[in-house]
Structure 1
Amino acid sequence: MSDVSVRGLTKRFGEVHAVEDVTFDAPSGQVTGFLGPNGAGKTTTLRVLLGLEQPNQGSAVIGGRAYRDLPSPRRTVGAVLEASGVHPGRRARTHLRLLARAAGLPHQRVDEVLRIVDLADAAERRAGTYSLGMCQRLAIAGALLGDPEVLILDEPTNGLDPVGVRWLRDLLRELAAEGRTVLVSSHLLAEVTQYADRAVIIAGGRLRYQGPLSGLTENGRSLEDAFFSLVSDQGQTEEVLGR
Structure 2
Amino acid sequence: MTDIVLSGLSKRFGAISAVRDLTCSMTAGVTGFLGPNGAGKTTTLRLLLGLVRPTAGTATIGGRRYLDLPEPRRVVGALLDATGFHPGRTARQHLTISAAQSGLPASRVAPVLDRVALTGAADRRVRGYSLGMRQRLGLATALLGDPEVLILDEPGNGLDPAGLAWLRGLLRDLGAEGRTVVVSSHVLAEVQQIADRVVILGEGELRHAGPLDEPAGLEETFLRLTGGVA
TM-score range, shorter chain: over 0.9
Give 1:27's aligned residue: 27
2:182 is paired with a residue whose SS is strand
Q: Deviations over 1:132-171 (max 9, x none)?
A: 0000000000000000000000111110111111111111
Q: Distance in 2 between matches of 1:171 and 1:180?
A: 12
Which residue identity lines up with residue 230 of structure 1 in the other structure? L
1:201 is paired with a residue whose SS is strand
Matched residues, number = 230
Matched, 1:139 2:134: no
Matched, 1:170 2:169: yes
Q: Distance in 2 between matches of 1:34 and 1:121?
A: 32
Give 2:225's aligned residue: 230
Give ranges in structure 2 of 5+ residues lacking alignment.
Answer: none
The normalised TM-score by structure 2 is 0.98
Matched, 1:45 2:44: yes
Q: Deviations over 1:191-228 (max 9, x none)?
A: 111100000000100010011022xx32xx12111111
The CA RMSD over aligned residues, in Å, is 1.3
Which residue identity lines up with residue 21 of structure 2 in the other structure? D
Q: Deviations over 1:13-56 (max 9, x none)?
A: 1111110111111112x100000001100000000000000000
The Cα shift of 1:108 comes to: 1.2
What pairs up with 1:185-196 in 2 under 5 angstroms?
185-196=184-195
Q: Distance in 2 between matches of 1:126 and 1:204?
A: 41
4+ aligned runs moved over 4 Å, structure 1: none
1:190 is paired with a residue whose SS is helix
Give 1:64's aligned residue: 63
The normalised TM-score by structure 1 is 0.92
Q: Distance in 2 between matches of 1:213 and 1:184?
A: 15
Q: Distance in 2 between matches of 1:222 and 1:145?
A: 35
Give ranges in structure 1 of 5+ residues lacking alignment.
Answer: 235-243
1:146 is paired with a residue whose SS is coil
The Cα shift of 1:233 comes to: 7.4
What pairs up with 1:143-158 in 2 under 5 angstroms?
143-158=142-157
Give 1:88's aligned residue: 87
Q: Deviations over 1:33-87 (max 9, x none)?
A: 0000011000000000000000000011000000011111000000001101101
Q: CA separation of 1:233/1:178 partners in 2, compared to 1, >3 Å: closer, same or farther?
A: closer
Q: Distance in 2 between matches of 1:16 and 1:167?
A: 39
Which residue identity lines up with residue 12 of structure 1 in the other structure? R
Give 1:240's aligned residue: none
Which residue identity lines up with residue 231 of structure 1 in the other structure? T
Which residue identity lines up with residue 11 of structure 1 in the other structure? K
Q: CA separation of 1:128/1:233 partners in 2, compared to 1, >3 Å: closer, same or farther?
A: closer
Q: Distance in 1 between matches of 2:171 and 2:59?
A: 22
Q: CA separation of 1:96/1:14 partners in 2, compared to 1, >3 Å: closer, same or farther?
A: same
Give 1:15's aligned residue: 15
